[in-house]
Amino acid sequence: MVDKVQENKVSLGGNIWRMAEVDEAWCERVVQAYGVANPIAKLLYIRGVNFADVPNFLQPRLKDWMPDPYELKDMQRAAKRVAEAVMKGEKIAIIGDYDVDGATSTAELVRFLSALDIETVIHIPTREEGYGPNEVAFNEFEAANARLVITIDCGTTAFEVLNNASARGFEIIVLDHHEAEAVLPNVYAVVNPKRIDEENSYKYLEYMSAVGVGFMFLVAVNRLLRQQGFYSQHNEPDLMNLLDLVALGTVCDVVPLRGLNRAYVVQGLKIMAKQQNFGLKQLMRVAKMETAPRAYHLGFILGPRINACGRVGDAALGSRLLFTQDENEAERLALKFDALNGERKDIENYVLLAAIEQVESQTQEYPIVFAYGKDWHQGVIGIVAGKLRERYNLPAFVMSIEGDEVKGSARSVEGVDLGALIIAARENGVITGGGGHMMAAGFSLTEEQIEPFKKFVGEYVLKHIGTEKIVPTLNIDSAVSLMAVNVDFAAELTKLEPYGTENPEPQILLPNVIITRPRIIGSGHVSCFLTSANGAVLLAIAFRCADNEIGQALLSNSGEVYDVVGHIKLDVWQGRQKVQMIINDIMRK
């Protein structure tokens, strides 16, 4: 166990450690009722899983978690209109977004409608055009004679553009999941679980990504088509085959992996393993994925490659890769995405270093990180904002200036709701537009508005979290002796997958270990062995740490005793299983 003194110390990673508390009686009930191992029962308790929901958490099924799609307001109206369009063979236009959620949600609509021989016209706004619907898109649709328009992963707060388009005679259906205001655009339907007037009978629906909302919409449309006899003369699409896209978008949009989202990802990973989607198959090949896909691969291997296209390439190609039925085209696009991802990394590193230099060369008046530059690529400012947030543990705002137009991205810390902040900034006239979630947001403004926006943001954050320096807390799930960490223990932990927001990968404390045989590998990673007094040994690695306090302590090989916290990984290579730890933090005894 971590003693009280250790809990109040600051670790070499700059964190205060907190050991989770559990109800031993509750855990014992779970062990007896469901036959799970005690360590798993404790982790379920820490994650707030209800006793009755344990089976559905460990083996989530869509039929147990998905309610009738009509639970969402305007869903029935929207589904009826699109079903009618399919029955009549109408052309349908789609406006998406350039991130992974936008690409996957656009692709699922296109794949479904294409299977029904419905022609689609697609517009993915470039980063230069900005987020959401715009006049350029509607002019394209008018020229293509597409009057029924679906916006997905955008549109809820696009009042001016959508109201004008409605006045031009477009019928517009908004499928979205971003924060809503009390007033909605004047359109045919707005399906968004975050509508203020939603009753929230199923609270977890609020957590869906756009691709999840889109899947529920397709379930509703498909049901209507079946009821109306459409499939007596047409082949009915298997919606389950779209779940690989739903899983990818859900993981990459960093929404909570609880309830329906968890079921989406668990079932979607099974579909992805079959490699039926040409684009995903080729992307996995160029990324050299040789094992069955897991949530990690979606978030850190596949997602960044798709995002790279939207960041430094052609924004429309992300969705195209995911809906193409031409395997040769899929191969060409996957190779292009892989190359763009390397280019994106170089650009990102340049902007990150410039932002750090700017931040650390100025006195910061407010508890925020605020940086901007005229030569910063818009495609990477979101990633840079996230890294600055991690570095300083403060809300981070990063902007790219191009002419008089400024595009920004922000990442937050607990206690600062960026979605609400951006709405307030827009209402106060210090930005021209924007939107987002609690922890992430995008926005636009003019160069003259930068300083007023900084003042507004600074005072907003100051009001919510104060000036006291925030020392981040590392929440530890369980303390385990080094001797107990074996293949069986690691295999038990995999029952909690997929990991993600609100179901983080367990942080395991290994107390009283000695570091042996450390060495630098790759780009600043440190590999070593953890040993204990009773002779137990475990391979471990700490990533990108050679130049910080954790890495220096590991490399010192001084024989000191440490408490080590990290993730226990079960790796399978050529049929053999092995266990290692990914070190996240250490503390001297």
Q: Mean pLDDT over residues 439-453, rounded?
A: 92
Q: At what angle do helices 243-252 and 210-227 cross, to 10 degrees?
A: 160
CB 202 within 8 A of CB 71: yes
Pairing of strands 92-95, 148-152: parallel
Domain identity same for 292 and 409: no
Task: Respond yes or no on whether the N-terminal peptide bond of residue 185 is cis (omega within 30° of 0).
Answer: no
Query: 27 lies in a domain?
Result: no
Strand order in the sheet with 405-411: 369-373, 396-402, 405-411, 440-446, 433-436
pLDDT bin (cut points 50, 70, 90) of residue 9 is confident
What are the tens digits of pLDDT across the range 553-568? Answer: 999 977 899 999 999 9
pLDDT bin (cut points 50, 70, 90) of residue 309 is confident
Answer yes or no: is pLDDT of 367 > 80: yes
Domain identity same for 507 and 432: no
Residue 189 vs residue 572, higher pLDDT: 189
Residue 506's domain comprises: 4-20+477-588
Answer yes or no: is pLDDT of 3 > 60: no
Encode 88-100: b = buried (16+ Cβ within 10 Å), e = exposed: eebbbbbbbbbbb
> What's the pLDDT at 192?
97
CATH of the domain at 201: 3.90.1640.30
pLDDT bin (cut points 50, 70, 90) of residue 470 is low
CATH of the domain at 410: 3.10.310.30
Query: 343 lies in a domain?
Result: no
In angstroms, the CA 78 to CA 81 distance is: 5
Answer yes or no: is pLDDT of 469 > 80: no
Domain count, the chain: 3
Percentage above 70 pLDDT, the chain:
97
Tally of CA atoms within 13 A in the half-sphere of 486 that contains its CB: 4
Residue 310 vs residue 488, higher pLDDT: 488
Query: 59 lies in a domain?
Result: no
**Residues near 177 by Cβ (< 8 Å), separated by ≥ 6?**
153, 192, 193, 194, 208, 209, 210, 212, 213, 255
Among the ranges given (114-118, 136-140, 354-358, 374-378), the one the predictor scored with the smallest mean pLDDT: 374-378
Of the candidates 87, 46, 27, 23, the one whose C-alpha atom is nearest the C-alpha of residue 508 is 46
Domain identity same for 434 and 544: no
Q: Which amino acid is at 486?
A: N
Domain identity same for 207 and 316: yes
pLDDT bin (cut points 50, 70, 90) of residue 362 is confident
Query: 79 lies in a domain?
Result: yes
Domain identity same for 392 and 268: no
| DSSP symbol at 300 | I
Domain identity same for 198 and 325: yes
Domain identity same for 561 and 431: no
Query: 232 lies in a domain?
Result: yes
In angstroms, the CA 112 to CA 240 distance is: 11
Among the ranges given (136-140, 195-199, 259-263, 437-441), the one the predictor scored with the smallest mean pLDDT: 437-441
pLDDT bin (cut points 50, 70, 90) of residue 468 is low
Domain end (from 411, 438, 465): 465
> What's the pLDDT at 357?
93
Domain identity same for 259 and 201: yes
Q: Mean pLDDT over residues 240-248, rounded?
A: 98
Answer yes or no: is pLDDT of 5 > 60: no
Answer yes or no: is pLDDT of 542 > 80: yes
pLDDT bin (cut points 50, 70, 90) of residue 1 is very low
Domain identity same for 304 and 178: yes
The rounded mean pLDDT for the chain is 92
Domain identity same for 288 and 140: yes
Query: 347 lies in a domain?
Result: no
Residue 165 vs residue 380, higher pLDDT: 165
Q: At what angle do helices 278-286 and 327-360 cross, to 10 degrees?
A: 60
Domain identity same for 391 and 260: no
CB 168 within 8 A of CB 112: no
CB 184 within 8 A of CB 42: no
CATH of the domain at 532: 2.40.50.140
Tell me the three state secondary structure of residue 474: strand
Q: What is the pTM of this model?
A: 0.85
What are the tens digits of pLDDT across the range 405-420? Answer: 899 999 998 888 998 9
pLDDT bin (cut points 50, 70, 90) of residue 291 is confident
Domain identity same for 430 and 285: no
Domain end (from 300, 321, 337): 337
Q: What is the DSSP string of 36-48?
A: --HHHHHHHHHTT
Taking CA atoms, 296 is separated from 120, 122, 136, 251, in Å, by 33, 30, 37, 9
